[in-house]
Structure 1
């Protein structure tokens, strides 16, 4: 049995956090003991983790405010739990874990980045100077690994590509679509686009709204559902009104029924300026949804252009709308074939059991002796 401590910036409904929860479930099924440390107060997944028996601790930090006391709080938790592996995710947790290692013994420290860009040159400099304090850095897309090496963020011999994984059984199941139709006021025959993600600048939702405005000139009854919350919500509502498309765009806030929404939608759309390797694209693939996404980060690795979806240049609303219209002009049989290929692709490459096996191999390669 391995004792695995995951460290995260926070616990909310986002891709990295979702992945850690799935890894906890996978490692528990194999007889290991995971725990999670959240730098700030956790806000999501607590019921699910409680049912699994995964302990969740917090360092009591305030978002956006550095607190050196967190180093010593984390040191105390490490001393109490005595992990065989410390595995941090996202830049703040990665740097904190490395610095804390100066004050407490950690048999192995692995740091995972989840994006091509984690915040600019200052953070990349911190990665460089603290690199000797960890055994390995990983990233969730091959493109991100390539860029990290090219920018000398991490030495080539100390970084690996390990993709996110997904529990396929949660997606692609028949759902009660009539209930969603009634709730959302969507009639049979309306083409439904779905986007899921935080309402933040890097997701470039204004680009999506511009593209959808052009789509509506050809398909005035189509609908865009956006599930998620964030600081951009009010601005996006205002922009929808300015574009005159507010009746066709629904900002749904946080939803607990993403699998049902994906089963209900006809296609998925993403307009991000940059990405790591989005979990949501794996979820859409597992749901059999054809996709139109911007060609950034690991999106090209998740979506096979022309086979499981279509790629568009980031920041180009004209091309994004053209790709959306191309997909909408496809026959039902063509859309279903895209969806089937997407589900097959994600099953072969990104099933969570495959990813847990990869992580187990990495942990064991470090010459671990459980209980050290």
Structure 2
């Protein structure tokens, strides 16, 4: 099958990670794969994978940028004549659907959009835009419930959960090297947050929780892994709160999965989530997750692979993190459940097979 994948970015986000995994796995299964997206750091992950890579101009998210991207997509679709086009999230899905009609007005290829979530007040707009693709795959049941409640026809949706590949456990030598690089004291508890530094992730809540934990366990170290527009503001807040040296702003790292495995807990302080790739990577590593009570995460952790706390000013998050740092047996049990959950329900093979089945249904 000839498959075009398109994404508005190939940076550090979870959706971009899913795209890179799909490129590699679909090519390995014998499909002709083309990726149309702006250049980004995820390209390095698929550099050795046989696929056609076409750049997409990144003109921003305004009307001009959307129009430019749509025309470029239309030209590429006309040239490639794919069997199916697979886009990521709302605007990219709508643009791909319009581009498919522009490219081949008489017989446009079917467009599948994967829905990773939007802000709570954006669901009605998202539902209208997602009427343009032929089908919408939601990454969690929570998201499907919300987008259909907002007006998208349920029969045009399905649930295909994100997945992660399994990597070898962190070795003692690698752990020691990380400790030396980061200056982590021996036996100090380590708590990580992994994600873009954007309002959605609510890092201010994470820092409030860190202050509470440090009152209880002053040796704790907090790793902030990721980059984004709020970095300078967060660095100023860390300094103003007297957290320098205990909260480490690490930026975007290509060894984020090692840092996840090194941590005792991974925290999500988010205002909303879809189905976080970083959370799946944490569970796969056996690192328990503590998250605010938001869609996607609530569903993911319901079986005991982590803890859900109230969406407040950070007090509930700090209290639960402190409790778990003092309870190694409970953390170990959560870690075992996380590893089993990934193997049982979030395997990479299962995700790719589900998308293949959807492609076949759309082209039948």
Report the TM-score when normalising by structure 1: 0.91
Tell me the residue number matched to 1:335. 331
Tell me the residue number matched to 2:129. 127
CA distance in 1, matches of 2:58, 2:318: 42
Residue 46 in 1 paired to residue 43 in 2?
yes
Post-superposition Cα deviations, 1:219-275, rounded to whole Å, max 9, x if no partner, equal 000000011000111111111122222221001001011121122111111100001
Shift of 1:119: 7.0
Matched positions, count: 358
Tell me the residue number matched to 1:348. 344
Aligned pairs for 1:85-234 (under 5 A) are 85-105=84-104, 106-117=108-119, 120=122, 123-124=125-126, 126-127=128-129, 131=131, 133-152=132-151, 154-168=152-166, 170=167, 172-174=169-171, 176-234=174-232
CA distance in 2, matches of 1:197, 1:273: 13
CA distance in 2, matches of 1:70, 1:237: 34
Shift of 1:54: 2.1
Stretches (4+) displaced over 4 A: none
Shift of 1:66: 2.8
CA distance in 1, matches of 2:168, 2:280: 10
Unaligned runs of 5+ in 1: none
8 Å CA contact 1:167–1:352 kept in 2: the answer is yes
Shift of 1:48: 2.7
Shift of 1:314: 1.9
SS class of match (1:48): helix
Shift of 1:337: 2.1
Residue 323 in 1 paired to residue 320 in 2?
yes
Report the TM-score when normalising by structure 2: 0.93
RMSD in angstroms over aligned alpha carbons?
1.8
Aligned pairs for 1:287-326 (under 5 A) are 287-304=285-302, 307-326=304-323
Shift of 1:59: 2.7
SS class of match (1:292): strand
SS class of match (2:63): coil
CA distance in 2, matches of 1:301, 1:347: 16
Q: Structure 1 residues 119 and 95, CA, compared in 2 at 3 Å: closer, same or farther?
A: farther
8 Å CA contact 2:127–2:150 kept in 1: the answer is no
SS class of match (2:21): helix
| Greater length-normalized contact order (CA 8 Å, ≥ 6 residues apart) | 1
CA distance in 2, matches of 1:146, 1:251: 36
8 Å CA contact 2:141–2:159 kept in 1: the answer is yes
Post-superposition Cα deviations, 1:138-174, rounded to whole Å, max 9, x if no partner, equal 211111110111111x111111111101111x25343
Aligned pairs for 1:255-270 (under 5 A) are 255-270=253-268
Unaligned runs of 5+ in 2: none
